[in-house]
Amino acid sequence: MLPLILIVGAAPFIVRGYTITPDAILVQRLFWDTRVPLAGLQSAQFDPGALRWSIRTFGNGGLYSFTGWYWNRQIGAYRAFATDTKRAVVLKFTRRTIVLTPDSPEDFVRELSAYTARS
């Protein structure tokens, strides 16, 4: 029974995609969107090795997605909304770091570059 509870319990937190709006990135979940405001965005960089050797401090470590709070030596503490670790985009904000894994990381970074120039 416990495996079924874990599978059903993790399903709503799946990451289905990302949408960039003028003031935020929307992380599309199964039933809702998680809003990541763009205020304070300093850089966006495609880094396929960013999630390597990460330690999960709180969250989901691979059941449908990698979501929650993590830490590694390369980028420090960060929040992840990821599905494919090889497509990691590291977003550095003034006071936080977020890692996303869009389908086309280079295009995602290029689209965000207009917002880093404004911040």
- Within 10 angstroms of residue 101's Cβ, the number of other Cβ atoms is 23
Nearest CA to 89 out of 115, 64, 63 is that of 115
pLDDT at 48: 95
Spell out, as residue ranges, where the chain has pLDDT lower than 50. none
Determine the pLDDT at residue 114.
Answer: 78
* Global confidence as pTM: 0.85
pLDDT of residue 117: 57
Token pair in block for residue 41: 């965005």
The pLDDT of residue 38 is 95
CB 20 within 8 A of CB 100: no
Annotation: CATH topology of 2-118: PH-domain like (2.30.29)
Domain limits of the chain?
A: 2-118
pLDDT of residue 118: 58
AA letter at 75: I
